[in-house]
Structure formats: structure tokens, C-alpha cells
């Protein structure tokens, strides 16, 4: 299972939220580019980058993400506010290996399908779940969409994978939601990345045993609950 550290950007800084709460971010670094370099030096081959400002439609962090994409030796999957064909093309053109779409997969599935078909294996679907519903708009809202119905639409697309985030666990370090992970694993053939609540090597092993090909680590790394080297070696 691949370990993928996360870098969330708000106001140009590296932060972490708890359960998607924008009002109480914890700032971990002033320059996210330095965080990229640190993760790469620790052995990361792939990093999950989220533009939180773009996700909620308030602004964007394009300049800092452009700098991050220029760093050598590591691949980036970029998420947050990617809601048009131009946005997908711009990120891929700037050097992103994958682009992650979340709100669009729920609100405009035909646009999502067009992007996936136009850029095979480079568009990923974000399945952000709260109370068994799909969360959108930077997790500020939920739509009454059945997860199974949503996932079933993707099966014939040339996706680069699916990212499952259990929002109720995100940033809590309370352990992964293995029940939801197991449910989603049965729904899709795609490589599946899990995010939410992971805080220990034991958590990583349980996520792997539940069928995830990748795990996204955030707060546990920043708070020192586990090192990236430990996670990669687990």
C-alpha cells in the first residue's frame, strides 16, 4: 500500500483542518514548497495537495501550487476547486500527474466524465463522505446522493483511481472508518486511496487489509504521531 502525505493549503500556508472546519485551521508551515521537499527527502513518491481556498470558492493558491509542481523527484495529485475542463488541463499542463475532482463528480457528472475520457488515467474521483452522503463545496455542504449510485457511474471511465475520505474521521486521529472503506471497496474496481482518522502503524495495516491501495496521511504526520519513514516501512 502506498503512503501519500497530504498538504492542505489555505491562504498560501500549509494547514490542517479537523472534520473540514475552516474556522479553526492549524498552521504547520508558512511555505508549502518546503513541506514538499521534506516529504520527498523522507521517501514520499506521491503527495496529495488540496487547495482549500479554491475548494470553497473563495480564492485560489495557484502560484504556490505552481511552485510545488516544479519540485523534482515526487509526483503530485492536486485537488480543490477543479470544476472545469480548463482547470483540469491547466493543472496537468503545469506538471500535476493527477487531478482530483470532487464536487463536480456529484453536481456535474457529465463534465467529470468528459474530463476523465479526455485525460485517461490522470483524473481521479474524490468520494468525500459524511453521514453516508456525498460532501461538496469544500465539504461545506452534503448532497443526498447514494454513494453506490455515484460510484457505479464511474466503472467504465478511464480513471486514475478513487479517493475515499471519511470526513467525520478527518483530522481526528481517532482511527479509520473501516466499515465505510470495506463498503466502497466492494463497489469499485479502481485503485482506492483512503483518508480519515489514520494515526498509527496499526491503522495503516488495517486500512491495507481492508483493500486500499493507498492511504493519505495528514495530521498524524504533522503532529508526530507517526513519521513518514515509519509509515512507508510498515
Active site residues: 8, 128
C-alpha separations of 9 from 32, 46, 50, 182, 222 in Å: 7, 17, 6, 30, 14
Taking residue 97's Cβ as centre, other Cβ atoms within 10 Å add up to 17
* Phi, psi angles (nearest 5°) of residue 89: -60, -40
Kindly report the three-state secondary structure assignment for every residue of 54-107.
HHCCCCCCHHHHHHHHCCCCCEEEEECCCCCHHHHHHHHHCCCCEEEECHHHHH
Please choose, from the candidates 50, 53, 118, the residue with its C-alpha nearest in 3D space to the C-alpha of residue 84. Answer: 118
In what helix (H) or strand (E) does residue 226 lie, and over which residues does it extend?
Answer: none
Are the C-beta atoms of 157 and 113 separated by less than 8 Å?
A: yes
Q: Calculate ∠ Cα 201-203-207, nearest 5°.
A: 120
Q: Is 194 helix (H, G, I), strand (E, B) or coil?
A: strand
C-alpha separations of 97 from 37, 123, 129 in Å: 17, 9, 24
Are the C-beta atoms of 232 and 74 separated by less than 8 Å?
A: no
All three cell numbers of 63, joined, read: 502560484
Paired with 86 in beta bridges are none
Amino acid at each position: 500500500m502506498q503512503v501519500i502525505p497530504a498538504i492542505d493549503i489555505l491562504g498560501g500556508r500549509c494547514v490542517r483542518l479537523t472534520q473540514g472546519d475552516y474556522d479553526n485551521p492549524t498552521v504547520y508551515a508558512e511555505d508549502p514548497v518546503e513541506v514538499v521537499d521534506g516529504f520527498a527527502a523522507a521517501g514520499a513518491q506521491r503527495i496529495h495537495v488540496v487547495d482549500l481556498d479554491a475548494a470553497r470558492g473563495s480564492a485560489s493558491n495557484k502560484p504556490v501550487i505552481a511552485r510545488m509542481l516544479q519540485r523534482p523527484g515526487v509526483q503530485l495529485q492536486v485537488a480543490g476547486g477543479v470544476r472545469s475542463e480548463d482547470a483540469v488541463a491547466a493543472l496537468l499542463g503545469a506538471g500535476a500527474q493527477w487531478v482530483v475532482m470532487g464536487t463536480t463528480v456529484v453536481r456535474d457528472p457529465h463534465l467529470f466524465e468528459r474530463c476523465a475520457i479526455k485525460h485517461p488515467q490522470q483524473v481521479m474521483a474524490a468520494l468525500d463522505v459524511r453521514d453516508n452522503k456525498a460532501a461538496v463545496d469544500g465539504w461545506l455542504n452534503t448532497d443526498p446522493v447514494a454513494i453506490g449510485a455515484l460510484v457505479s457511474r464511474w466503472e467504465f471511465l478511464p480513471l486514475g483511481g478513487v479517493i475515499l475520505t471519511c470526513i467525520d474521521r478527518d483530522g481526528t486521529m481517532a482511527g479509520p472508518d473501516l466499515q465505510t472503506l470495506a463498503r466502497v471497496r466492494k463497489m469499485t474496481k479502481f485503485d482506492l486511496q483512503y483518508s480519515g482518522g489514520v494515526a498509527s502503524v496499526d491503522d495503516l495495516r488495517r486500512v491495507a487489509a481492508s483493500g486500499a491501495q493507498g492511504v493519505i496521511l495528514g495530521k498524524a504526520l504533522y503532529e508526530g504521531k507517526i513519521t513518514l519513514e515509519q509509515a512507508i516501512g510498515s
